[in-house]
Structure 1
Amino acid sequence: MKVLLIIVVFNFETGSELETNLSFDNEAECHAAALTSFQEVDEHAEIRAMDIPEGQEMLVGTMIAYGAEGGEIGMYACNALRSSSSTATN
């Protein structure tokens, strides 16, 4: 199984930055990599599950990263790929 990390870092000066990574063999590795990425933005980054308002659709498993000041610094999701023919990309 391959796990895809989709990560968005909010940068209010230049706009959001999107990164995808398909090099994970399990969700735990993916979540650890996401936390590491957000800690590069704010060393005190904290990850919490996203509270999705009723009636809105969002990628399953979407998580929000918060900085030391409590503001959102980004979001991400780790999802297992269903296709066995996928190749790793960055």
Structure 2
Amino acid sequence: MMRILLIIVVFNFETGSELEMRQDFTNEPDCHAAALSSFQELDEAVQIRAMDIPDGQEMLEGTMIAYGAGGGEIGMYACNTLRSSSG
């Protein structure tokens, strides 16, 4: 069975960024929906866009940025397939 890992980072400049990881997803659409729901708890008008990764910079594949109503970045997330190490 395929499992999807969700990594969410919520930017908080006062107390430090918060990291959340979940791996209870079996498909990417459910993972993306959970991330959107998490960010909507912070800002109902959140917009999610793919991150523009500059050449030469390493970042998780499929990293998405969450923007608040004011246009500022409020966090980022990625949904990635977990690779089984059992053979």
Normalised to the residue count of structure 2, the TM-score between the two structures is 0.94
Task: Find runs of 4+ consecutive structure 1 residues off by over 2 angstroms.
Answer: none
Alignment of 1:79 with 2:86, yes or no, is: no
CA deviation profile, 1:13-48 (whole Å, cap 9, x unmatched): 101000000010100000000000000111111100
Provide the residue aligned with 2:14 in structure 1. 13
Question: Which amino acid counterpart does residue 26 of structure 1 have in structure 2?
Answer: N
Q: Tell me the C-alpha RMSD between the 2 structures.
A: 1.0
Provide the residue aligned with 2:46 in structure 1. 45
How high is the sequence identity, in percent, across the aligned residues? 79
Runs of at least 5 residues in structure 1 that lack an aligned partner in the other structure? 86-90
Runs of at least 5 residues in structure 2 that lack an aligned partner in the other structure? none
1:14-29 to structure 2, matched below 5 A, reads 14-29=15-30
Normalised to the residue count of structure 1, the TM-score between the two structures is 0.91
Provide the residue aligned with 2:35 in structure 1. 34
